Amino acid sequence: MSNPAIDEQLALLMQGTEYGDSALKQAMAAELRERLIQAEKEQRPLRVYCGYDPTSTDLHLGHTVTMRKLRQFQEFGHTVIFLIGDYTARVGDPSDRNALRPQLLEEKIRENARTYAEQAFRILDREKTEVRHNSEWLSKLTFAELIRLGSNFTIQQFTTRENFRLRWDKGDAIYLHEFFYSIMQGYDAYALRADVQVGGTEQLFNILTSGRKIMEYYGVKPNIGVLLGILPGTDGVVRMSKSLGNHIPILASPGDMYGKVMSVPDTAMPLYYRLLSRFTPDQIAAVERDMESGALHPRDAKMKLAREIVEINLGPEAAASAEEQFRLVFQQSELPEDIPVVPVQAGKHLADLMVELKMAKSKSDARRLVEQGGVRLGGEPVKDPNGVVPLEGDPVLQVGKRKFVRLKKEI
């Protein structure tokens, strides 16, 4: 039977999900629909969670993909649990790695964890979010209980996983404690009595095998996995990562966040819309139709997306200001406000200066940027990367669309 309210929830909650198998996706969607119907009949909210291991202090937009999904569940009245994996962080999730993760010290884990919830509340409703730490239950597990949990799995199940298999084939070490991670995460789902666990596609084994198996072992109805696609970085290709330098920090300034979203290739826009925006499936489909027909320019679609992302993370006023600043700088060729002033010694060569100011990765990179017409000094295109930088009049050095510094002769 059709249930419009439930069907509307399901369409939005399954938006952006990926399972690598259409039958599995259909099965999870069917289970979620039944659980939503059951919860409505019982007049209770679903218990929905996602775990975040505090492996660094700063979060980026890639982390907010799952937070956006949690927020959607919140807006439908369900209970959301923001789980800080202060105990699983001691092992480190090997799911998206082809190498051993370094083990973090307890002091570093606590330091990182302090920042996580506050950053998450840029997305989640603070008043409707439970914040938990998995040390609450994992620290109390006995060795006997760990043996019983381990008896539910085979070594083959772990070694056939792609990341472990690659290391095995290369002869790289796989450590026993890395196998514990999936068991610990599965126990999290049981301890929280979760109806739904949200995670990225790399969590398929942890959620759909480990979590469900352990919950069934304890006689509890298994949770449903809502697995989301991986957000590419600003290069539009590789997974967003701070270490790769293609990330957009949650704590970025409004202008920087807006500008970096605008720098994302057009090909990645549909995925950004699905994973980061509040738009419904019908609204996103309308944007795509308008772009295909030519009624909406890709630049305008991207500006709509950039404003939406800044508004979600930093508020409507910040989004409006960032958009206005972008229009002034990039569409009307006006300089931004508050350009940093950098003292420069007379006689400095441009390529050397660009490297020193981290506006280019190397001298060869600086030369490439100049040759491509991406460098301006005092508003004029630079022709010679090896020339001495003129400092009269405190000229503005611009590299690309978003890097500006005002040069001042050092006295």
- If asked whether residues 37 and 126 sit together in one domain, one would say yes
In a 13 Å sphere around the CA of 193, the CA atoms on its Cβ side amount to 5
Q: What is the domain range of residue 287?
A: 254-331
Average pLDDT over residues 371-375: 85
- If asked whether residues 278 and 365 sit together in one domain, one would say no
Average pLDDT over residues 17-41: 94
Q: 229: exposed, middle or buried (C-beta count within 10 Å: 0-12, 13-18, 19+)? A: middle
- If asked whether residues 270 and 405 sit together in one domain, one would say no
Confidence of residue 47 (pLDDT cuts 50, 70, 90): very high
Judge whether 261 and 253 are in contact, CB under 8 Å.
no
Torsion (CA) 246, 250, 255, 260 in degrees, nearest 10: 20
- If asked whether residues 360 and 390 sit together in one domain, one would say yes
With respect to residue 241, please indicate whether it lies within any of the assigned structural domains: no
Average pLDDT over residues 137-156: 92
- If asked whether residues 62 and 138 sit together in one domain, one would say yes
Judge whether 71 and 124 are in contact, CB under 8 Å.
yes
- When mean pLDDT is compared across 88-102, 133-147, 207-221, the lowest value belongs to 88-102
| pLDDT at position 112 | 74
With respect to residue 238, please indicate whether it lies within any of the assigned structural domains: no
Average pLDDT over residues 74-88: 92
Residue 281: CATH number of its domain: 1.10.240.10
Q: What's this model's pTM, rounded to 2 decimal places?
A: 0.74
- Reported as a single tens digit per residue, the pLDDT across 315-351 is 999 999 999 888 877 765 666 767 888 888 888 889 9
The pairing of strands 403-409 and 341-344 is parallel
Give the phi and the psi of residue 336 in degrees, each rounded to 5: -75, 165
Residue 384: CATH number of its domain: 3.10.290.10
- If asked whether residues 181 and 316 sit together in one domain, one would say no
| pLDDT at position 333 | 60
Confidence of residue 245 (pLDDT cuts 50, 70, 90): confident
Average pLDDT, the chain: 87
**Is 199 or 168 the better-scoring residue by pLDDT?**
199
| pLDDT at position 100 | 44
Tokens describing residue 350: 């441009």
The residues near 332 (Cβ < 8 Å, ≥ 6 apart) are: none
Last residue of a domain, one of 279, 305, 331: 331
Q: What is the DSSP letter of 126?
A: G
Confidence of residue 263 (pLDDT cuts 50, 70, 90): confident
- When mean pLDDT is compared across 71-75, 110-114, 368-372, the lowest value belongs to 110-114
Last residue of a domain, one of 310, 331, 352: 331
| pLDDT at position 98 | 42
Confidence of residue 215 (pLDDT cuts 50, 70, 90): very high
Last residue of a domain, one of 295, 310, 331: 331
- If asked whether residues 109 and 177 sit together in one domain, one would say yes
| pLDDT at position 99 | 44
Rounded CA separation 344/397 (Å): 12
| pLDDT at position 97 | 46
Q: How far is CA 110 from the centre of its chain?
A: 21
